Amino acid sequence: MQELTLVLGTICCHTASYNLGSATSTVRYQYTISEHEIIASSLPSVGQVVFMNAFPEVYRQLLQGEHFQFCEIDVSAVRKPLAILACPIIDNQAILGDLWLFKQKTDAFNELEIRLVQQVANQCAFAIRQARLCQASQQRIEELERLNHLKDDFVSTVSHELRAPMTNIRMAIEMLEGILKQSQTLEAKHSSATRYLRILRDECQREMNLINDLLDLTRLDTKTEPLVLTSKNLSSWILQIIEPFEERFCTQQQQLHIDIPTEIPVLTTDFFQLEGILVELFNNAYKYTPANETIAVLLRATPSALRLSVSNSGVEISTDELAHIFDKFHRIPSHNPWKHRGTGLGLALLRKRVEQLQSTIIVSNEQKWITFTLQIPWSIEQD
């Protein structure tokens, strides 16, 4: 408005937005040359609502997308005649508002001036539409965030409520197993009782794992647990984490290759969270590496961070799958004969733990090698 007023030499310019439902026009902004404020005081002011029905001929043309100009004559001769140009703000969807320009001249707005005003009106229409889309998107995002919080609260509440009965079920299974052992019912290696008891125990543990994963996700999302920072020699510590997996890898005929230098600087981090990350990476490799393929663990020190990669061969994942690999409940299609079951929350938990350690993790797929690369800073800044 200010630029139009100064460039075209008008005394005043204002813009209004339309509410087509109520057939009203509201002045949103106005710019007036200071020496003409007395004249402009008789014009509509910011915030003033104009009812379209009160000026049918004016708004009939504007609502049809037509600009027009006229000369207003003050019969009292208190001020000079005003030349007025009205231009609609319109896009390909609707009439959004209008521009009004006033100049104290008897000559009309020329064609060049009108084209300039129309160009400004088009830019205004684009800006208004973009702003409304942005506002609608923001409202949608806020609504999705609200629903997401409700969902998380629901999941957390249900998980807590399920934990107690599942703990009782597990205790009952253990007591039942003790009673059956006393009665020598389980002595028969292939008895039905042994098979059913194993199913109960496995399914109970599976449900407990799901509940624990959901609760861990909730805690990590809310960041209610502070980091417990300690410093350790990483080379020997990682070997201790890998050791329990070596027998499992061997059982499935998986080859393990470890490349960990002995001289690695001391790392300061939360090793409980880091252990959870590594255990999930090794579990993931164990589940999805076919027989006679390789699982490789590589550790390297860089000036800014420690780089740890866990790779497994013989598996190929599409680009679409990789994009969702850290999503909650996303399951990677199984390519191995064991078809291991899981909660679908392991990698989602892993990413949350990585973020809590102020680290990054990326996954890549090249020549049937899946590689998870973890970058861990040498030290963490506490909030």
pLDDT above 60 for 2: yes
Q: How many CA atoms lie within 13 A of 303 on its CB side?
A: 0
H-type alpha helices, the chain: 2-8, 37-40, 56-63, 111-182, 192-222, 234-251, 271-288, 319-323, 346-356
Question: pLDDT grade, residue 194 (50/70/90)?
Answer: confident
Give the Cα separation of 333 and 74 in Å (integer). 81
Contact 218, 159 (CB under 8 A): yes
Question: What percent of the chain is modeled with pLDDT above 90?
Answer: 30
Structure tokens at 187: 């002595």
Q: Give mean pLDDT, residues 211-231.
A: 78
Give the Cα separation of 82 and 128 in Å (integer). 29
Structure tokens at 85: 């140009």
Give the Cα separation of 174 and 176 in Å (integer). 5
Give the Cα separation of 314 and 151 in Å (integer). 38
> 245-289 pLDDT, tens per residue?
888 888 889 999 999 888 888 889 999 889 989 998 998 888 888
Residues in CB range of 40: below 8 A, 6 or more apart:
11, 12, 30, 32, 102
Q: How many CA atoms lie within 13 A of 190 on its CB side?
A: 0
Contact 377, 358 (CB under 8 A): yes
Q: Shortest CA distance to 350 belongs to which of 285, 299, 295, 281? A: 281
pLDDT above 60 for 168: yes
Q: 189 burial class (0-12, 13-18, 19+ CB within 10 angstroms)?
A: exposed
Question: What percent of the chain is modeled with pLDDT above 70?
Answer: 90
Range with the poorest average pLDDT among 93-102, 277-286, 310-319 = 310-319
**pTM for this one?**
0.54
Range with the poorest average pLDDT among 10-24, 64-78, 253-267 = 64-78
The predicted structure's pLDDT at residue 160: 75
The predicted structure's pLDDT at residue 187: 64
> 27-46 pLDDT, tens per residue?
999 998 887 777 767 778 88
The predicted structure's pLDDT at residue 316: 79
The predicted structure's pLDDT at residue 185: 66
The predicted structure's pLDDT at residue 172: 87
**In residues, how long is the chain?**
383
> 57-70 pLDDT, tens per residue?
999 999 999 999 98
Q: Helix axis angle, 346-356 relative to 192-222, nearest 10°? A: 30
Better pLDDT: 361 or 333: 361
The predicted structure's pLDDT at residue 337: 42
Q: Give mean pLDDT, residues 134-141.
A: 92
Q: Shortest CA distance to 303 belongs to which of 260, 258, 265? A: 265
pLDDT above 70 for 125: yes
pLDDT above 80 for 366: yes
Question: pLDDT grade, residue 112 (50/70/90)?
Answer: very high
The predicted structure's pLDDT at residue 340: 53
